[in-house]
Structures are given as structure tokens and as C-alpha cells.
Amino acid sequence: MVCLLSGGLIASLITLPAIQAQKKQWHIAIVPKALTGEYWVRCKKGAEAAAKQFGVRLTFVGPSAETEVDKQIDIIENLLTRGVDAIGISPCDGKALVPVIEKAVSKGVPVVTVDSDAKTNKRLSYIGTNNEKAGELAGQELAKLIGGKGKVLIIQGVPGAENLMQRVKGFKRAVSKFPQIKIVSEQACQSDLTRALEITENALRAHADLAGIFGVNAYGAPGAAQAVKEAGKVGEVKIVGFDAIPTTLRYCAEGVVQAIVEQRPYRMGYLAVRYLKEALEGKKIPRIVDTGVDIITPEQAKKMLLASPK
């Protein structure tokens, strides 16, 4: 894999007063958008590795689906009631989570956002992909694959997720430089692979000359790939997606998906725990940490599958 966005980009530093500096063990909670999916499993592994290394107690808890915004809010409220020391959150909705984030901060509980940001300056740090730049990179890749012209479908994830909106913004900026590229449809699959499949099937029927598809989150590309493969249009319709989950990686190795923008969820989980512990100890932490991305091509996907444990 070739690293295209360098990790560890740091913009400004902030600090908190030391809180109970002699406390025996900090209790840190990480609240992902969902507990299901390979992406969040990798994030959890990173958080667990940091918790073990730095000697903190970790609670990794979240809703069962990325659409369960109210459930995520309830989980955070419960964590505050339980008295956790710090929280890392990947907001299902960047606006809806603001009140509970600000409530936590008002209670002296440091909060960082992970993978997706929230629309508040009260959180201490954002740790994750520079999503606008990553979306722009995806747009550049797709434009190149379709020769700078043709009809394009965008498969969104869950409406309101700040990281996904930023990706789409970057993607549109990139393809806007090609006057002959036309975005014919933009629909949300609600982070559901079956819905992504249905959206693609409908788009292929409505636009027989569809040239490209952008899957904004982990569910878009594999759903689109299944539809394209079943329609017998592999190679004719180019697909660029996010996150090298096993299904997408296999489709990429087969040449059904032409490029994957791969994030680093393990690093996100690890750094969230590390920086929250440092904040609790009164140390300065970065305001923004860009964990970077890689681009995976079909050739690289083949090598990754060969190298993966059987």
C-alpha cells in the first residue's frame, strides 16, 4: 500500500488541568457509531492495545447500528452517570451529539471525537481521517478511471454523519474540474449493504450508460459491486469506495472495485485512548490528528488477500 495522506498531522495544542493526578487507574470509554462491522472491530483492537500499554480501564460500547443516534446519546448519558473519566466518541450525527458532548465537558469529562467529528469546539481533539481531502482523492481516482467523462452515482451512508458529508464535499470538488462528468444520483444506503445493492440496481436501470460509482462509506462499494457484477458490467462501471473490509477487498482483487480508500481505524482507537489519558494527566494534546489513508488497487488487494491468515 502507498501512503497518500501522512498520518499524525497536528494543528494546535491544548491542555487540561491535571485531574486527580494520583488516581490509581483512569476509566476511559470509547463510543463508536456501531459495534458491528470489521472497521469498528479494528478500532476496538487499537483502543484495547493502548489501554493495556498505558494501564487504563477501557469500556468500548456503542449502538448496534450507525443509524441509532438516540441510542448513542443514551449510552453516553449512562457513561456520565457511571462516572467515567474521559470519552472518545464517533458521532452518528455531528449535530445531534453536540448537547451530550458539551454536557460531558461541562462535568469535567474530556471528550475527543474519533473517525467522525462533531459541530462543537468543546471537544478537545479530532482523531481520524482528513475526510474532505480523502473524498477529493477518491474523486480524482474515479475521474481518472472513467476518463474524465460520464455519469456517476454517489452512495452515501447515514445522513448527518459529519465525516461522510466532508468526503462528499471533497469528491464533488474533485469531479467538478471535469465538465463532462455528471452526478446523476446521490442516495443514502443507511449503512446497509442490501440497500446499497438496491440503489445501484435502480441506477443501472435508469442509466444504462452509468460510468462510475463512489461508495462513501464501508457499505457503498460492496453493495455496488454485487449489483455491477450481477448486471454483467464489471470493468464497464468503475467503482471507488472506502475501507478495505474483507468483502470489498475481495471485490477489488477480482477487479469489480477499482480502488479503495483505506483508513486506519486501529490507529484511531489507539490514539484516542492515549491522548485521553494524557489529557487527564494535564498534558497537552493535539487539536487535530490526521491518521492518514492509503489507496488500494486490485493488484495490491490480491497481495493483501494472499498475505492474510487463512
Residues 6+ apart with CB under 8 A from 95: 118, 119, 160
Q: What is the pLDDT along the chain (310 residues), one digit of tens a residue?
A: 444 444 444 444 555 544 444 456 999 999 999 998 899 999 999 999 999 999 999 999 999 999 999 999 999 999 999 999 999 999 999 999 999 999 999 999 999 999 999 999 999 999 999 999 999 999 999 999 999 999 999 999 999 999 999 999 999 999 999 999 999 999 999 999 999 999 999 999 999 999 999 999 999 999 999 999 999 999 999 999 999 999 999 999 999 999 999 999 999 999 999 999 999 999 999 999 999 999 999 999 999 999 876 5
State residue 13's pLDDT score: 52
State residue 63's pLDDT score: 98
- pTM of this structure: 0.85
Report the 3 state secondary structure along 93-155.
Answer: CCCCCHHHHHHHHHCCCCEEEECCCCCCCCCCEEEECCHHHHHHHHHHHHHHHCCCEEEEEEE
Domains by residue range for the chain, with CATH: 2-127+264-291 (3.40.50.2300), 131-262 (3.40.50.2300)
Distance CA 310, CA 304 (A): 12
State residue 20's pLDDT score: 46
State residue 103's pLDDT score: 98
3-state secondary structure of 283: coil
Helices 69-82, 98-106: crossing angle, 10 deg rounding: 10
Sequence-ordered alpha helix ranges (H) in 176-219? 193-206
Structural contact between residues 121 and 155, judged by C-beta atoms closer than 8 angstroms: no
State residue 307's pLDDT score: 87
Say which DSSP state 159 is in: T
